[in-house]
């Protein structure tokens, strides 16, 4: 199974994000609102026995809840091409703390360390040859995007089934924050 650890987002926040999406960028494959999430740690393909160990380890993690504010929009690029459009996150030390704890916990459960820097984001669209001028206009137009803060009281282990059109993400286990 293919797993990742993420924050799911409350309905009202998904709606605010969806207002950003869907228009103005040819070549954008917009993520459906039910798929919005903030990845804390991508795990990838693992065996069922290892998933059980991961679940057990995550269940023992203790970290405080916090408020999360999504703000700003940006892109990731590869080889000079924009590949992803996302909504960003306002500076949030408890989020960084949670993500660090998850990382240590998963390493202790036997996963290799995540080498990529944590760049918290919610992917809004994947981009196939989107015109850079349209992207620039989108970024400028939504520069001041700031969603209402939402309380984060748990994090979630998701499974992911890659589909032809969109992946199907299923929340498998929720872990409460103190
Ligand atoms: P993304 O939204 O920035 O693409 C489920 O696939 C989640 O895991 C996505 O949010 C994806 O981030 C994230 N992810 C992180 N590393 C990944 C990888 N190597 N392959 C696929 N998804 C990854």
Distance of CA 37 to the CA centre of its chain: 4
What is the model's pLDDT at position 32? 95
Predicted pLDDT of residue 166? 84
What is the predicted pLDDT for the residue at 165? 81
Provide the domain count of the chain. Answer: 1
User: Can you tell me which residue has the tokens 């203790």?
Assistant: 62
Nearest CA to ligand 1 atom 17: 42
23 φ/ψ angles, rounded to the nearest 5 degrees: -135, 155
pTM (two decimals): 0.95
Structure tokens, 124: 């809004």
In the chain, the DSSP E strands lie at: 2-8, 28-30, 37-45, 66-68, 70-78, 81-89, 122-127, 150-152, 154-161, 168-176
Partners of 157 in the beta sheet? 5, 173
What's the confidence (pLDDT) of residue 24? 86
Residue by residue, pLDDT tens for the chain (178 residues) are 999 999 999 999 999 999 999 888 999 999 999 999 999 999 999 999 999 999 999 999 999 999 999 999 999 999 999 999 999 999 999 999 999 999 999 999 999 999 999 999 999 999 999 999 999 999 999 999 999 999 999 999 999 999 888 899 999 999 999 9
Nearest CA to ligand 1 atom 5: 4
Is any atom of ligand 1 closer than 6 Å to the C-beta of 83? no
CATH number, domain containing residue 142: 3.90.1140.10
pLDDT digits (tens, 9 = 90+) for 89-126: 999 999 999 999 999 999 999 999 999 999 999 999 99
Per DSSP, the three-state class of 5 is strand
Provide the pLDDT for residue 109.
96
Q: Is the CB of 160 under 6 A from ligand 1?
A: yes
Residue nearest to atom 2 of ligand 1 (CA): 123
Residue-range definition of the domain harbouring residue 11: 2-176
| Cα angle 45, 128, 77; round to 5 | 70
123 in contact with ligand 1, CB cutoff 6 A: yes
Q: How far apart are the first and last CA of the chain?
A: 29
Q: What is the pLDDT of residue 161?
A: 95
The confidence score (pLDDT) of residue 127 equals 97
């Amino acid at each position: 199974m293919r797993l990742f650890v993420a924050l799911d987002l409350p309905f009202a926040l998904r709606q605010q994000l969806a207002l950003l999406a869907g228009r103005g960028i040819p070549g954008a494959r917009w993520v459906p609102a039910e798929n919005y999430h903030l990845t804390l740690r991508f795990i990838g393909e693992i065996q069922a026995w290892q998933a059980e160990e991961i679940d057990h380890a995550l269940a023992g993690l203790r970290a405080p809840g916090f408020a999360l504010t999504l703000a700003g929009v940006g892109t990731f690029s590869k080889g000079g091409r924009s590949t992803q459009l996302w909504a960003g996150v306002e500076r949030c030390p408890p989020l960084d703390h949670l993500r660090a704890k998850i990382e240590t916990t998963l390493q202790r459960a036997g996963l290799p360390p995540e080498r990529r820097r944590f760049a918290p984001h919610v992917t809004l669209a994947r981009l196939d040859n989107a015109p850079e001028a349209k992207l620039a206009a989108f970024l400028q137009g939504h520069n001041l995007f700031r969603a209402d803060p939402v309380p984060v009281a748990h994090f979630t282990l998701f499974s992911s089934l890659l589909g032809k059109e969109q992946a199907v993400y299923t929340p498998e286990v929720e872990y409460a924050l103190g």
